[in-house]
Homo-oligomer: A and B are copies of this chain.
């Protein structure tokens, strides 16, 4: 019997979430899609496409601007943010700033019509990701996972970076100074680029040792090192997974108590 209200509340929450997704997430995702496609020169854009794109853009920016104004206005109801000063205080918090960045740069671009360097402003649209993050309940688990595994993360990162540096110095001597004086190993920073590509197992193939000694060293480094460089990422992934699991258990525990 106790479960009913919880389920009801959940269903109501789900409906709200669904409407929120329709009203917020979808336009934002479309905005990112259009931002990406708009930079592709070889795309055969049908006539009228640019107009549609612009109209869509104006609508979204308008909605976000109105929403922002409403939010700041409503914040004044809270005694903490009363008056003009209180609203300014509210506006300098993290979420309101993200909300502002989500439309202001594009609004300026629309009004000023700037080209060239100003287009960089369009990328601030990425601030809209923060808006989406609110609809994904586990998104703030990222930060908790970072805090949770901080000391392990730092240690494993230090070990990984040390390995990258030492490997790079080794190959710099073997392939850059010795061997066939490969251009791509001719300095430690270049060798670091090789070490990162190898130890993360990306292996683009733009840089690789060619002398037998270099290949011998690279083989040992690869077999011994791939696990070590994957450590920080693995530590974070495991902390994130634990955090999500704990929250789920806590939540289902709360439901049972009610």
Contact = CB atoms under 8 A, between A and B. Distances in A.
Interface string A118-129: 001001001001
A137 to B, nearest CB: 8
A138 B152 contact: yes
Contacts of A188: 35-37, 39-40
How would you classify the secondary structure of chain A's contact residues: helix, strand, loop or mixed? helix
Interface stretch (A3-11, A48-56, A75-83, A218-226): A218-226
Interface of A: 32, 35-37, 39-41, 120, 123, 126, 129, 132, 136-139, 141-142, 151-152, 154-162, 164-166, 168-169, 172-173, 186-190, 192-193, 196-198, 200-206, 208, 212, 215, 218-219, 222-238, 240-241, 244-245, 248
Given A36-B192, A202-B202, 6 more contacts: A129-B162, A160-B223, A192-B219, A227-B234, A230-B233, A234-B241
16 contacts: A32-B165, A35-B188, A36-B168, A37-B188, A40-B188, A138-B152, A139-B155, A164-B223, A200-B201, A205-B206, A223-B232, A224-B232, A227-B230, A227-B232, A227-B237, A231-B241
